[in-house]
A = this chain, B = another copy of it.
């Protein structure tokens, strides 16, 4: 019912884990149900986006970096580095949990949909996810 998943990151960007998630669903043998993914961090988030053309992911990453830049003079939460506060804001604007229905033993993702962990911090991290299946 509950599974743990870790995504290793090495700098800001979207890291796809659709195959790992699909494998968890396949292993449990759930035919019909719901798969919920939860990220246990406040400076990394979740997003489902196009996984066909890497330029879509690239533009999305750049756009959010530009919307929430480092070095904002209004930031007071700066002790943990210039990339910390933008990471919290970027996380709040995207998802902390995502739910995907399961049908015929697989995730009902659309043709072009991939599931991503969005790392917002510069340093390497082992990001911990919790996956719940019904």
Contact = CB atoms under 8 A, between A and B. Distances in A.
B74 A63 contact: yes
A96 interface: yes
Contacts of A38: 99-101, 108
Interface of A: 1-2, 32-34, 36, 38, 40-42, 47-50, 53, 55-56, 58-60, 62-64, 66-68, 72, 74-77, 79, 84-85, 88-89, 91-101, 103, 108-110, 112-113, 128, 130-132, 134
Copies in the complex: 3
Contacts of A75: 59
A94 B17 CA distance: 21
Q: Which 5 pairs from chain A and chain B are nearest by CB?
A: A40-B110, A55-B77, A101-B132, A97-B99, A101-B130
